[in-house]
């Protein structure tokens, strides 16, 4: 039953049939009036989803590309940045900053635990000479299922006055309330294969007026990811380089579906799925890797010791054709991760929980 695979990972996520059909259309010219109309519709929908009047720039890239663009366009070599690291992706942004010659200070927390806003506040308050140019945070840490306290960290950044807040919202946008304008977020990056309900291939960057001012003096090298080019093209409902045309078709349809559901309903659905998943895991006697008060609405990580998580994942995939995500780096074999974002519903969560119950009984017998 190879056509029945059930994808329950934090990305790529399941895609609605209507979106798949939209993507199956013949490509059209990317400099045509018809495509310009689609870009205009998409840009309007993206602003709605981000709850912002700021520019939303669409790249043919993954979420990592969107984050790289979100960092290199607003900083110069040697600039001091604070990077939150409590998982695989926070760690990645630290490495990215170091690769571009930024003066990078890593603020760590244990994997599975949230970043501490007070540590950021202390660092920012002590920076009386305003050397810190940016604070870079992963909102939903996909590797562990932790939702970091972005609003509290951002308040410390705003109190500093000079630093930008640069946010990886790759698995929070479309699953969790991220009110860009209300919170005054400067740069917000995300990727198409998560809450957007379309395949991988598009990255998105929301940019504030404050960030655009920083862009004017930023000196890190950039060409394809020069967001100024995308901003200029956006004003003409165009793109600076060849876009992923059929993914735009998919995105336009997905945004229409999301608008039909409504933002509050989308967030409430993801909260229900998170609660169903976490309560079910507890009932099975398994340990949740992230604390309830910092649980991501996109992904739940589960510890399986003494059972090897890879054995459990392998059994479930072979027996039921359900794909769960594994642990990364030192967590491989120790945890598995259930994705519940985007085109997901309670029926799928209940199916996974029933399969877990049987699988645990079989493997522990």
Percent of the chain past pLDDT 90, that is, above it, reads 98
pLDDT at 2 over 80: no
Looking at every residue in the chain, the average pLDDT score rounds to 97
The model's pLDDT over 236-259, given as tens digits with 9 standing for 90+, comes to 999 999 999 999 999 999 999 999
Angle, helices 346-363 vs 309-320, to 10°: value is 110
Q: What digits encode the pLDDT tens for the residues 154-211? A: 999 999 999 999 999 999 999 999 999 999 999 999 999 999 999 999 999 999 999 9
For residue 4, what pLDDT band results from cuts at 50, 70 and 90?
A: confident
pLDDT value of position 365: 77
Delineate the domains of the chain, giving CATH numbers in brackets.
2-12+263-363 (3.90.1150.10), 18-259 (3.40.640.10)
Structure tokens at 101: 């010659």
Number of helical (H) and strand (E) elements in the chain, helices listed first: 13, 14
Q: Check residue 3 and give its pLDDT.
A: 67
Average pLDDT over residues 311-327: 97
Provide the pLDDT confidence category of residue 113 given band limits of 50, 70 and 90. Answer: very high
Say if residues 258 and 194 touch (Cβ distance below 8 Å). Answer: no
Element (H, E) at 277: helix 263-283
Mean pLDDT of 41-66: 97
| 12-42 residue pLDDT tens | 999 999 999 999 999 999 999 999 999 999 9
Q: Where are the alpha helices (DSSP H) in 284-335?
A: 309-320
Q: What does the alpha-carbon distance between residue 85 and residue 329 come to, in Å, rounded to a whole number?
A: 14
CA–CA gap between residue 8 and residue 298 (Å, rounded): 11
Model pLDDT for residues 275-291, shown as the tens digit of each residue:
999 999 999 999 999 99
At 172, list the tokens.
């929070």
């Amino acid at each position: 039953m190879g056509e029945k695979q059930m994808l329950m990972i934090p990305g790529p996520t399941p895609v609605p049939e209507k979106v798949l059909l939209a993507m199956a259309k013949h490509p059209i010219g990317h400099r045509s009036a018809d495509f310009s109309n689609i870009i205009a519709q998409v840009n309007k929908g993206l602003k709605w989803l981000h709850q912002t009047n700021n520019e939303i720039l669409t790249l043919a890239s993954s979420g990592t590309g969107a984050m790289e663009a979100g960092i290199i366009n607003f900083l110069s070599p040697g600039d001091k940045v604070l990077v939150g690291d409590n998982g695989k992706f926070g760690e990645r942004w630290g490495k990215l900053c170091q690769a571009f010659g930024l003066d990078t200070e890593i603020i760590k927390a244990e994997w599975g635990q949230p970043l501490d806003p007070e540590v950021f506040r202390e660092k920012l308050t002590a920076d009386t000479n305003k050397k810190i140019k940016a604070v870079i945070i992963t909102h939903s840490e996909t590797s562990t299922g932790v939702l970091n306290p972005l609003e509290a960290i951002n308040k410390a950044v705003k109190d500093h006055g000079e630093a930008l807040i640069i946010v990886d919202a790759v698995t929070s946008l479309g699953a969790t309330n991220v009110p860009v304008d209300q919170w005054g977020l400067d740069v917000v990056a995300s990727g198409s294969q998560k809450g957007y309900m379309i395949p991988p291939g598009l990255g998105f960057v929301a940019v504030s007026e404050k960030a655009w001012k920083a862009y004017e003096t930023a000196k890190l090298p950039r060409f394809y990811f020069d967001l100024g080019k995308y901003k200029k093209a956006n004003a003409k409902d165009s793109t600076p380089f060849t876009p992923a045309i059929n993914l735009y078709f998919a995105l336009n349809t997905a945004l229409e579906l999301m608008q039909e559901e409504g933002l509050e309903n989308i967030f409430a659905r993801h909260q229900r799925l998170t609660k169903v998943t976490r309560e079910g895991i507890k009932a099975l006697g398994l340990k949740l890797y992230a604390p309830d008060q910092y649980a991501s609405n996109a992904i739940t990580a589960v510890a399986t010791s003494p059972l090897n998580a890879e054995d459990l994942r392998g059994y479930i995939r072979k027996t039921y054709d359900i794909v769960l995500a594994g642990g990364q780096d030192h967590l491989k074999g120790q945890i598995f991760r259930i994705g519940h974002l985007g085109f997901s519903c309670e029926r799928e969560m209940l199916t996974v929980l029933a399969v877990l119950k049987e699988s645990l009984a079989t493997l522990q017998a």
